[in-house]
Amino acid sequence: MSNLFSLESEIAVVTGALGRLGSIWIEALLEAGASVFALDLPGAAVSEDFRYLQDRFDEKRLRLQHADIRERAALEAACEKCISSSGIPSILVNNAGIDRPPASTGSGYRLEDIPLEENREILEVNTLGLFLTAQVFGKCMLRAGRGSIINIGSLYAGVSPDVRFYDHIQDDPPFLKPPAYGASKAAVVNLTRYLATHWAPRGVRVNALSPGGVQGGQDEQFREKFCYRVPMGRMAVSDDLGGPLVFLASRASSYVTGTELVVDGGFTAW
């Protein structure tokens, strides 16, 4: 059974590698035996968690390349680099995305006044950039006749953010989760199904993994309110996410495609 979850000799591409969740996915893939080709924006700061992984694994197992997922030419160059330096990718984790957490801008808008530009970038990266990345790296997988694409969604692909989680934040206008965030993640889930149905006959599986709230620097009042809403009574930690990802990446899920695996502690069950 353990062999079904092995990723030995697999080449995985992870976008948004230097972000908060990037290192969680990368570590899980590396520990399952894969080599990882990590992508993030030019000039993006290397996170402490990513440096830790670089110290643990040599450059043959973990390489970092810069590309903007909204630019096809940059993605195609990255794909060629991946093939020449690591090998043909067989796993793609579409993790890159934009969220707007509280205090990220220091100001907010009332719903009826949110500028279009506040939403445009989120949609471009979270949805269009993800689709473009799937096209470029998926083409390599289609030629090889095998592959697993995992699109990172969110519990907010299926439910609306609860504004009461943020009502203790003393801002006027009050903080609102960007409407484009949930809309973009819902689009990701639908794109997952679309790609899955087209590419299944050619050996490429496409699934979505939608985490619930992941613990990481939120204020105490938010955590208390959020955890009260979760049947399991807590937020997700990194150990909760790696296993589901490896499942979707590996032969253990060889008959699974077009699905959304929600890892939210039961949040959406209520």
List, by residue number, the catalytic residues: 181
φ and ψ at residue 87, rounded to 5 degrees: 135, 180
Q: Can you say whether the dihedral through the CA atoms of 182, 217, 118, 111 is positive or negative?
A: positive
For residue 265, the surrounding DSSP H or E stretch is none
- How far apart are alpha carbons 89 and 62 in whole angstroms? 13
Q: Is residue 32 within 8 Å of 90, Cβ to Cβ?
A: no
3-state secondary structure at position 64: strand
Given its phi and psi angles, is residue 169 left (phi above 0), alpha (psi -120 to 50 degrees) or beta? beta
Question: Token pair 């989760």 is at which residue?
Answer: 177
Q: Percent helix, strand, coil in the chain (nearest 5)?
A: 45, 15, 40
Q: 191: closest CA among 138, 146, 118? A: 138
